[in-house]
Amino acid sequence: MTKCYLSGELITPENSSSEHIIPDFLGGRITSKRLMTKKWNEKLGYTIDAELSRQIKLMNFVPLRTRGKKKIILMYGDDGQKYLYDSEKKTAEIHSPKPEFVQDESGRNMIKIKGEKPFRDYFKGLRRKHPDLPESEIYKMFTISPPSEENRTIYTDVFHHIRGANCYRAIAKIAANFYVYSTQDIIEVQPIAEFIKIGKGNNYFVYP
């Protein structure tokens, strides 16, 4: 006889549901129908698991190159933009941002772009496209602005991005799933059951 460790309800063929021990978005493959009812599986899957998945995906990063201790990392931010993170300078710069076409005070058409690297890349592209145009004239076509301080602040802390009670509830559920799956003991996980369900419970755990 198996009970749902969240509700205490008896799990039957009618109300059972396959729960990933470790979420599939984290590469989990093992599932069990002996952990929780379909009601709780679906409710938590659409809420706390979905939020953890969203934040994990936003943290997706790919190392581009390493020179000594310096790493240049391509990653995604809260706004869905790609950023280049410099681990040595602790700054992030938009990766291949789209330039804006503006006019200066005299009415001359200008190319407005953020960041030195995007400027260099776009500059090289214009040189290839217009080989007969002097570099000095191409340079006059640009107005360069630094990446915003807001982006620098947010993305310097990218590896500590996961936050919020829903994410901590989802992480607590992973731990409870693993314990119950391994031991079939639902008594020991009761102290965190209320936290997993509604974000409140006894003080057996701490989260930021």
Question: Are 169 and 151 in a shared domain?
Answer: no
The pLDDT assigned to 59 comes to 59
Question: Are 31 and 100 in a shared domain?
Answer: no
Q: What is the pTM of this model?
A: 0.55
Question: Are 116 and 54 in a shared domain?
Answer: no
The pLDDT assigned to 54 comes to 81
Question: Are 90 and 180 in a shared domain?
Answer: no
Answer yes or no: are the C-beta atoms of 87 and 71 closer than 8 Å. Answer: yes
> What are the CA-CA distances from residue 170 to residues 47, 81, 120, 189 (Å)?
9, 26, 43, 14
Q: Which of 73, 69, 110, 113 is nearest to 92 (CA)?
A: 73
3-state secondary structure of 131: coil
In a domain, 85, yes or no: yes
In a domain, 32, yes or no: yes
The pLDDT assigned to 25 comes to 82
Is 183 exposed, middle or buried, given 0-12, 13-18 or 19+ CB atoms closer than 10 A? exposed
10-residue stretch averages of pLDDT, the chain, 208 residues long = 93 95 89 96 95 74 50 61 67 68 83 77 85 86 66 43 84 95 94 88 49
In a domain, 1, yes or no: no
Counting the structural domains of the chain, the total is 2
Q: Angle between the 165-183 and 38-46 helix axes, to the nearest 10 degrees?
A: 150
Q: Angle between the 48-58 and 38-46 helix axes, to the nearest 10 degrees?
A: 40
Please provide the size of the chain in residues: 208
Q: Which of 129, 137, 207 is nearest to 167 (CA)?
A: 207
Round to whole Å and give the CA distance between 65 and 83. Answer: 14
Question: Are 106 and 173 in a shared domain?
Answer: no
The pLDDT assigned to 157 comes to 46
Question: Are 153 and 172 in a shared domain?
Answer: no
Range of the domain at 171: 19-58+163-198
Question: Are 36 and 100 in a shared domain?
Answer: no
In a domain, 73, yes or no: yes
In a domain, 203, yes or no: no
In a domain, 170, yes or no: yes
Question: Are 70 and 155 in a shared domain?
Answer: yes
Question: Are 137 and 170 in a shared domain?
Answer: no
